Amino acid sequence: MPESMFGSGLSALQFKNFTELIWQESGIRVPEDEKDMLVSRLVKRMLALKLDTFDAYYTHLHREPSEKIYLIDSVSTNMTGFFREPKHFGFLKGDFLNAIRQRRSGTGSRKISIWSVASSTGEEPYSIAISVLEGLGSEAGWELSVLASDISTSALGRLETATYDEIAMKGVPEALKKKYFVPAGSVGGRAQHRVVESVRKRILGRRINLHDKSWPVSPGFDAIFCRNVLIYFDNSAQKELVCRLCGYVAMGGYLVLASPESIMGKKCGLELVTPGIFKKVGTCF
């Protein structure tokens, strides 16, 4: 069934119906100027399902609730990279760990828990774990756990493989590549690299939809990374999300936003440390 059989695209009503459904399920707004992207992704899925009209696919989405996961997967933008915004990872190695050492001193606890709320294909949570482990060096006794969540099941599948090609590895300094990755063959002539077990075991992958009314997690994270995902939500959803996340950060812990999204953190008992990094100093409500 060639792609051209689907005609010139979605009607205005069909576009509205699909984008409303996507918004209700995920909070993601698909703007009018991304209609072509939506069409091409819907068509790809429809070809796989052998459905030949957009209306047939829309009906199918309502008959098969699990199909909504594919729909959201198809519109989520998973662009990411290792050590994206390097200053955030420098912060983890330095000031963040110093603050934790102080907060934990005399408590008997040496646990560090971090949540990457839109972890995409894993580069962000693995960069977090590597940075903290590098910062701890040979200091013994610390227990690090990183919750890596995303709405996209295909992105989470990549996170589970923990295997990246040469292009993805570009952001990883050579010394860290040698220390934290092992060669994992090649695919299509491209060398693959797998994150070592000592880092992988710190990561827990989960599908969590930030738009859901409740999340299956307990509060008290030492840091939450919520980077490059707020842009997909509308203004009121962005504000609500920042406040909700703030409730999951431990007092004295940090919320990390992408620098361009930094402005949204100026509330909720948060104090700006440096662009994108906020310290929780009070409560939100």
Chain positions contacting ligand SAM, by CB under 6 A: 26-28, 76-80, 84, 118, 120, 124, 150-152, 155, 209-211, 227-229, 232, 258
Catalytic residue among 41, 158, 202, 227: 41
Q: d(Cα 1, Cα 273) in Å, to the nearest integer?
A: 55
Residue with tokens 């399902």: 49
Q: What is the dihedral of CA 89, 81, 141, 179, to 10 degrees?
A: -110
The token pair that represents 87 in the structure block: 């200053």
Pick 51 or 72: Cβ nearer ligand SAM: 72
Pick 231 or 250: Cβ nearer ligand SAM: 231
Q: Residue 244: name the closest of 283, 277, 272 by CA.
A: 283
| Strand pairing category for 190-195 and 111-116 | unpaired
Pick 27 or 205: Cβ nearer ligand SAM: 27
41 in active site: yes
What's the closest the beta carbon of residue 3 comes to ligand SAM, in angstroms? 24
Q: What is the DSSP string of 92-126?
A: IIIIIHHHHHHHHTTTS--EEEEEETT-TTTHHHH
What's the closest the beta carbon of residue 138 comes to ligand SAM, in angstroms? 30
Q: Residue 197: name the closest of 183, 174, 181, 173 by CA.
A: 181
Asked whether 22 and 30 are in contact (CB, 8 A), the reply is yes
What's the closest the beta carbon of residue 123 comes to ligand SAM, in angstroms? 6
103 in active site: no
Residue type, 144: L
What's the closest the beta carbon of residue 70 comes to ligand SAM, in angstroms? 13
Pick 70 or 142: Cβ nearer ligand SAM: 70
- Return the active site residues: 41, 150
